[in-house]
Structures are given as C-alpha cells and as structure tokens.
Structure 1
C-alpha cells in the first residue's frame, strides 16, 4: 500500500474549470480584458467633465474678461483680454491700487459696453467662463472704507488720507482739458469721503476719459443729487492679475508701490 496521496476524483487540475472543463487561453484573456465605452460615449463624458470644471473654475477661481473702453489706458487697452482671480478676496476686500472687475452699479456702462459678447456661441461660452464676459467695468481702487480722497495737491496729485500718489508710471493724467465722457462734468478740485464701510472708490487710469467714481459724484452745484460714486464690495468680481491678449503685451499686473505709503484712515 502506497503512502503517496492520490488525487481525489473531484480535484481540479490547473487547466480545468469547476466542472473539469478545460479553460482555453483565449477565454482567460477575455476575462482579464476590461470593457471600454464606445468612443462617442467617452467623448460626451469628457466634454461633460470639462464643462463642469470650467463652471467651477469660473465660479471660484479665475474668469476671463475683456476691456470695454479706453478708460484704463495706457496699461489696458480697449478689447484687451484679461484674467481675473477671485481667491484674493475670499477673506478680505479689495486693497488700494488693485485693478478690479465689478458689476455695473447702475448706469455706469453705455449700451454697447453693457451688451457683452455677441453671437450665440460666444454668449454660451461666456456663461461657462470659456469666453471673455462683458457687462462689467474695470477700474483701479483708489480708496477703501474710511479713506478721504482729494484732488488735487499743488503738484496736481491725488491724495489719499493726506498722502499724495505718484501715478506717473501707470496713469494717463493728461492736461487740464477734459474729453470723452468727462467733457461736461469735469471738476479740477474735489474731495470725497470718508468712504462708507463695504464700499470702494475707483478711478480709471486714463483720468480724463473715464466715467468712474469721480464722474458719478455729486457736485456742489447739484440739487437733489442721488448719485452714488462708490462701488459695493459685493459687486467686485475679483482682481485683474494677467493681461492675456494680445500675446505681445502679455504681462502680470502688480499693485503700484505708491499705495503702500498711504496711511490707514483715522
């Protein structure tokens, strides 16, 4: 009698299935192969993912806009494409010197500027952040809550809380004559403030051709004036940080150093 164990009748050999049927090599490969979606389904899935990501990016992080007028020359020219980032204002408001994009407070844009993109495709793409959005304004923040702004000192400079701004590196200050939208409302000397909480005072870098906060102030000669020169912080979309197009003028925008010298409001 042998001591070697004999295989039982029910034992499966490596090449047999559960019932003793042989497994072909092709069958084993088929089991290992993963199922793939048809190309058209993969395409739709990828487009859906891209759309969701675009919407999230636009809502939370970065949005494209274009410059609607000449008011930010010389740095930003009409029809330039810019990128606006939003995280900077998640835990705080705009700072002096920031170039910001904001919703029209009401009547600041003319019909052409307020219209935004034309064409079905452009409008659809702008909704999801894949095409520059219109209907907004681009200006530089000059003052924040509590600030007092005066125009101008003996050298023709704006002052914020008594500190003059050196703006020759980024602003087109022009001469004494006004033109563009300022032609009927130019006032050489003015003062505004303290700026209310939750609001900012903005101006275009092209000072004599910008319908900005200084343009929407009540003048001493106005009666029953209801103008509001301020922009609500909640209407600010974000800070401009890149001039994207045209490519030969691509640049990263920075806050001018002159604003670092402005003291906090009393």
Structure 2
C-alpha cells in the first residue's frame, strides 16, 4: 500500500480533494460570466437595432426651429413613422441635408424642419404669412410677430416631395433656399424633446 504522505514535508497533512461545494461554486461563477456576457451582447444588439430601424436621438444644431426647439435640445426621432402612414402637414421631420447645400466641416449631415406643404400643394408667402393652396396657413407654433417671406411667387410641390420651413422664419435655411425635399430623404418624425429635462415633452 502506498503512503499518501510520501513526497510531502514531514508533518504536512495531505491535500484535501476538491469538495462538491467548490466545484459547484466554480461552475456557478463560469455560468454567471457567460450570462453577463450574453446580456451585454444582447443589449448592444438591441441598441443597434433600435437606433438603425426604430428610434434615434438627434441634437438640434441651430436656432432655426426656435421657439419650438432650442439649440442643444435633444429630440427622439421615430424612423418607422412614414412606413406606417403618410407625411402630415405640421410634422417636425429630420431629413438628409440636400445635395449642393453648403455645409461646414462641423455641420450635421441631417437637418430638422417642419412640413408646410405636401405633394400637389401650392405654397406662397404673402403679407408676412404662408399660404397653401390660396389659403392662409394657421401656425400656432410660431413666435408672436413672426414674418414669413422669401416666397413671393407660388411654388407647386411635385409628387414624392414636401416643402419644409423652420419655425424661426428669419433665421432658417429651408425649402425657400433649396426647394422641396424628396420624401425618401426623410429620416423620421421628431416626436419628443428628451433633453434637457426642463423642456421634456411631446412635439
């Protein structure tokens, strides 16, 4: 019979074999690490899917939508809206910067404006107001005393396009500059101010 103490210093007790509890603890730790890794990967995938296909945050880069949106506000944009329904007059939308529009190195690739005219509409400014199809457009979102000008001759919007304008009519590069925008350049509809907390609310 072999002596289990051979090879160890005299008086040192033999090594205890691993207990069932230590084995279970090791397996539990490994399982927890795997579960946390899966949770993190899953969260990253969900965030990517949400940002790519569902909802995206957008920071307001200028004062062109004052007083509805202030520079630095963050809004949530629903990217599925116009897969479910048509663009509506009055919607606040984010869209790709029109080709040929001057942009500095720090200017955003996307712009945010309000839909004023829909396909087939005729838009014109007259006496400081916007007229759509010959009728003055009610615009309660504008600041008191706002003057809308720059479109003396009526423009008819082609199919597949919309006419957009900033709420800050005196400080906005919009369809009065670059014309109607194609609906397929629309990223989505801004539906909520999420930051700062003091301005949180729906649009």
- Deviation string 1:171-228 (CA, Å, 9 cap, x unpaired) is 247566x9xxxxxxx73623211x1111111000000100000123xxxxxxxxxxxx
Give the Å deviation of 1:150. Answer: 1.1
Higher strand share: 2
Residues 1:74 and 2:67 are matched in the alignment: yes
Question: Partners in 1 of 2:89 and 2:146 — Cα distance?
Answer: 24
The structure-2 alpha-carbon separation of the partners of 1:35 and 1:166, relative to structure 1 and needing over 3 Å to count, comes to same
Question: Partners in 2 of 1:244 and 1:41 — Cα distance?
Answer: 34
TM-score of the aligned structures, taking structure 1 as reference length: 0.61
Within 5 Å, give how 1:58-207 maps onto structure 2.
58-108=51-101, 110-114=103-107, 134-152=108-126, 154=127, 156-167=128-139, 169-172=140-143, 187=150, 189-193=152-156, 195-207=157-169
Are the aligned partners of 2:146 and 2:169 in contact in 1 as well (CA < 8 Å)? no
- Deviation string 1:86-137 (CA, Å, 9 cap, x unpaired) is 23211333111100000111243621553xxxxxxxxxxxxxxxxxxx4210
Give the Å deviation of 1:44. Answer: 2.5
Question: Partners in 2 of 1:201 and 1:95 — Cα distance?
Answer: 11
Residues 1:250 and 2:189 are matched in the alignment: no
- Structure 2 alignment gaps of length 5 or more: 1-18
Question: Partners in 2 of 1:37 and 1:144 — Cα distance?
Answer: 59
Choose 98-107 or 87-96, whichever is displaced more.
87-96
- What root-mean-square deviation, in Å, do the aligned CA atoms of Structure 1 and Structure 2 show? 2.6
Which runs of structure 1 show a deviation greater than 6 angstroms over 4 or more consecutive aligned residues? Answer: none
- Deviation string 1:12-36 (CA, Å, 9 cap, x unpaired) is xxxxxxxxxxxxxx98xx99xx866
What is the count of residue pairs matched by the alignment? Answer: 181
2:15 corresponding residue in structure 1: none
- Structure 1 alignment gaps of length 5 or more: 1-25, 115-133, 179-185, 217-228, 254-266
